Amino acid sequence: MLAGRSRTIVQDNLGLAEPFFARWQKVFRWNRPMAGSVALAGLRSQSARDFSDSLAAELGVLLLPGTGLGSDDRHVRFGFGRRNFRAGLERLDRYLAT
Protein backbone atom coordinates (compact mmCIF):
# COMPACT_ATOMS: atom_id res chain seq x y z
CA MET A 1 0.00 0.00 0.00
CA LEU A 2 2.78 2.47 0.89
CA ALA A 3 4.75 1.52 -2.22
CA GLY A 4 1.69 2.12 -4.37
CA ARG A 5 1.09 5.54 -2.84
CA SER A 6 4.74 6.49 -3.33
CA ARG A 7 4.69 5.28 -6.94
CA THR A 8 1.59 7.40 -7.60
CA ILE A 9 3.25 10.52 -6.15
CA VAL A 10 6.37 9.98 -8.26
CA GLN A 11 4.37 9.36 -11.45
CA ASP A 12 2.19 12.41 -10.85
CA ASN A 13 5.27 14.57 -10.27
CA LEU A 14 7.01 13.25 -13.36
CA GLY A 15 3.88 14.25 -15.26
CA LEU A 16 4.37 17.80 -13.96
CA ALA A 17 8.09 17.77 -14.73
CA GLU A 18 7.75 16.81 -18.41
CA PRO A 19 6.05 20.04 -19.57
CA PHE A 20 8.24 22.11 -17.23
CA PHE A 21 11.43 20.77 -18.79
CA ALA A 22 9.97 21.08 -22.29
CA ARG A 23 9.22 24.75 -21.58
CA TRP A 24 12.69 25.39 -20.14
CA GLN A 25 14.81 23.36 -22.56
CA LYS A 26 17.08 26.36 -23.10
CA VAL A 27 17.99 26.17 -19.39
CA PHE A 28 17.97 22.40 -18.71
CA ARG A 29 18.97 19.16 -20.40
CA TRP A 30 16.45 16.57 -19.23
CA ASN A 31 16.02 12.84 -19.56
CA ARG A 32 13.11 11.29 -17.71
CA PRO A 33 14.39 8.69 -15.23
CA MET A 34 13.74 5.11 -16.24
CA ALA A 35 13.33 4.08 -12.59
CA GLY A 36 13.50 5.65 -9.18
CA SER A 37 12.34 8.94 -7.74
CA VAL A 38 15.32 11.22 -8.51
CA ALA A 39 17.06 12.55 -11.61
CA LEU A 40 19.95 14.80 -12.48
CA ALA A 41 19.02 17.59 -14.86
CA GLY A 42 21.82 19.30 -16.73
CA LEU A 43 22.18 23.06 -16.74
CA ARG A 44 23.11 24.45 -20.13
CA SER A 45 24.97 27.59 -19.15
CA GLN A 46 25.23 28.05 -15.41
CA SER A 47 27.06 26.63 -12.44
CA ALA A 48 24.80 24.22 -10.56
CA ARG A 49 26.13 25.45 -7.23
CA ASP A 50 25.44 29.11 -8.09
CA PHE A 51 21.98 28.24 -9.40
CA SER A 52 21.13 26.16 -6.33
CA ASP A 53 22.45 28.79 -3.92
CA SER A 54 20.39 31.57 -5.53
CA LEU A 55 17.22 29.41 -5.55
CA ALA A 56 17.61 28.58 -1.87
CA ALA A 57 18.32 32.19 -0.87
CA GLU A 58 15.63 33.83 -2.99
CA LEU A 59 12.83 31.24 -3.00
CA GLY A 60 13.51 28.61 -0.39
CA VAL A 61 13.58 26.01 -3.18
CA LEU A 62 16.23 23.37 -2.62
CA LEU A 63 18.03 21.66 -5.47
CA LEU A 64 21.20 19.75 -4.71
CA PRO A 65 24.05 20.59 -7.10
CA GLY A 66 25.75 17.63 -8.72
CA THR A 67 28.94 18.37 -6.81
CA GLY A 68 27.13 17.25 -3.66
CA LEU A 69 26.65 13.84 -5.28
CA GLY A 70 30.13 13.38 -6.65
CA SER A 71 29.11 14.64 -10.09
CA ASP A 72 30.04 17.84 -11.91
CA ASP A 73 28.91 21.44 -11.44
CA ARG A 74 26.56 21.28 -14.44
CA HIS A 75 23.78 19.14 -12.94
CA VAL A 76 21.14 19.55 -10.24
CA ARG A 77 19.17 16.83 -8.51
CA PHE A 78 15.38 16.80 -8.76
CA GLY A 79 13.46 14.57 -6.36
CA PHE A 80 9.97 13.46 -7.40
CA GLY A 81 8.81 11.71 -4.24
CA ARG A 82 7.35 14.66 -2.34
CA ARG A 83 3.74 15.77 -2.28
CA ASN A 84 4.75 19.44 -2.40
CA PHE A 85 6.73 19.01 -5.64
CA ARG A 86 4.16 21.03 -7.61
CA ALA A 87 4.57 24.09 -5.36
CA GLY A 88 8.36 24.03 -5.66
CA LEU A 89 8.20 23.56 -9.42
CA GLU A 90 5.77 26.49 -9.74
CA ARG A 91 8.14 28.69 -7.74
CA LEU A 92 11.05 27.61 -9.92
CA ASP A 93 8.98 28.31 -13.04
CA ARG A 94 8.23 31.87 -11.85
CA TYR A 95 11.89 32.42 -10.99
CA LEU A 96 13.00 31.37 -14.47
CA ALA A 97 10.34 33.56 -16.09
CA THR A 98 11.75 36.73 -14.49
Q: How confident is the model at residue 2 (pLDDT cuts 50, 70, 90)?
A: low
- Note if the pTM is more than 0.95: no
- Dihedral in degrees, nearest 10, Cα atoms 33, 48, 82, 38: 20
pLDDT band per the 50, 70, 90 thresholds, residue 3: confident
The CATH superfamily label for domain 2-97 reads Aspartate Aminotransferase, domain 1 (3.90.1150.10)
Distance between CA atoms of residues 8 and 13, nearest Å: 8
Task: Read off the pLDDT of each residue in 14-32 and give the average, rounded to a whole number.
Answer: 97
d(CA 20, CA 3): 26
Which letter does DSSP use for residue 49 in this model? H
Q: In sequence order, which residues have a C-beta less than 8 Å from that of residue 20 and are 6 or more positions away?
A: 89, 92, 93
C-alpha dist (Å) from residue 69 to 7, 24, 45, 53, 73: 24, 23, 20, 16, 10
Say whether pLDDT at 86 is over 90.
yes
